[in-house]
Structures are given as C-alpha cells and as structure tokens.
Amino acid sequence: MPLRKCAKIIKGSMALLILSALTGVFAADDIVQLGQPVSEADLRDWDLIIMPDGSGLPEGAGSAVQGSAVYEQQCASCHGASGKGMPGVPALVGENNSAGEPVVRAVGNYWPSATTLFDYVRRAMPPTAPKSLSTEQVYQVVAYVLFLNDIIGEEHELTHNNLSTVDMPNRNGFVDRSQMQ
C-alpha cells in the first residue's frame, strides 16, 4: 500500500478515535479514503459521455456527403444501404407507417437527442471494433444517418457547436418518470 494511503488511513483512524472518545459514535465513513486525485483535464479524451446540451463533444466537424463513404464501409453491411436494418439489426431510419403497418421507431422519429447518436456510435459501433472510428468519422457518419432520416441536408456540416441544436422531431415525445418512482 502506498505510504500516502497509509497516512490517510492513520489520520482518519486517529480522528475516529478522538471522535469516538468524545461522542461514543462510530463514524465508519471516515476510516478509509483511498481515491487517487486526478484532474478533469486528464479525463477529457477518456470520457466518452456526450450530454444532450452538447457538452463533452470533441472538437470536430463532418457532413453527410463525407459520411456516405464511412457508412458504406462501416455500417451498411448490417444496417443496409438505406438504414432499414435487417433481422437482428436495428433500423436506423424510422417509419411512421399507416394502414395497420407497425411503426418503425428509429433515429428520425424516436430518438430525442442528436447527441445520443454521436455518443453511441463513438462508444459502441461498429460492434466488431467499437471505438475504432476517428472523431471526424463519427461526425461524418452521424451526419449521414441524420441525412438518411431527412433531419439535415446532405451538405449540412455538423460540429461540436451545432450538433446539440439539431431539431429532433420526437424531442418532446417522452414522459420523464425519473422523479415519479
């Protein structure tokens, strides 16, 4: 055990002894403090979380025109050239079918935040080699999927500044139950 940690434990234990002597209360939470300080700057490239307001997005840009090649190489074999998916692979393009056909809930008609697409593609796609796409490739392919869903134009350049402002049609389609438990 590093000396620093031992010192912290001993310090904590002494404080505990004094506290216990004074109050007779056992303050278990004070015994062990072993977390190693790190700086948020050190975590910037490691932290993949993108918030709906766009915070966490790495600097970069890409358009659907650029993304079609990435999509063709990395995505189309499973998700299909037009993003319809196949058995065992989710569709990327939503369909609001009428006449009794089931609705296909996907990016364009269901996902509330465009940032989710960036976050998910970067952390989890493609399944055989997650985290292998460059930042530019992720921007490009996200733009392409949004283009396939008629959310943005082919030339629209997504950037770390404007991705969170993409107008997702179903952004108000969810009932937040997080505080109704």
Give contact residues for other proteins (rule: CB under 8 A): 5, 28-29, 31-40, 43, 46-52, 78, 86, 88-90, 102-103, 105-107, 110-113, 115-116, 119-120, 123-124, 127-128, 130-131, 173-179, 181
Please state, in angstroms and rounded to a whole number, the distance separating the CA atoms of residues 180 and 172.
18
Least CB distance to other proteins at residue 155 (A):
27
Rounded (5°) CA angle 95-105-90: 100
- φ, ψ of residue 89 in degrees (nearest 5): -130, 125
Specify the length of the chain in residues. 181
Rg of the Cα atoms in the chain: 24
Least CB distance to other proteins at residue 116 (A):
5
Least CB distance to other proteins at residue 76 (A):
12
Q: Are 156 and 139 in contact (CB under 8 A)?
A: no
Of 52 and 60, nearer to other proteins (C-beta) is 52
Give 6's DSSP letter. H
Of 153 and 173, nearer to other proteins (C-beta) is 173
Least CB distance to other proteins at residue 34 (A):
4
Of 22 and 28, nearer to other proteins (C-beta) is 28
Please state, in angstroms and rounded to a whole number, the distance separating the CA atoms of residues 133 and 43.
19
Of 65 and 112, nearer to other proteins (C-beta) is 112
Please report where in the chains the tokens 């002494």 appear, as a residue: 14
Least CB distance to other proteins at residue 22 (A):
21
Please state, in angstroms and rounded to a whole number, the distance separating the CA atoms of residues 72 and 26.
62
Of 62 and 94, nearer to other proteins (C-beta) is 94
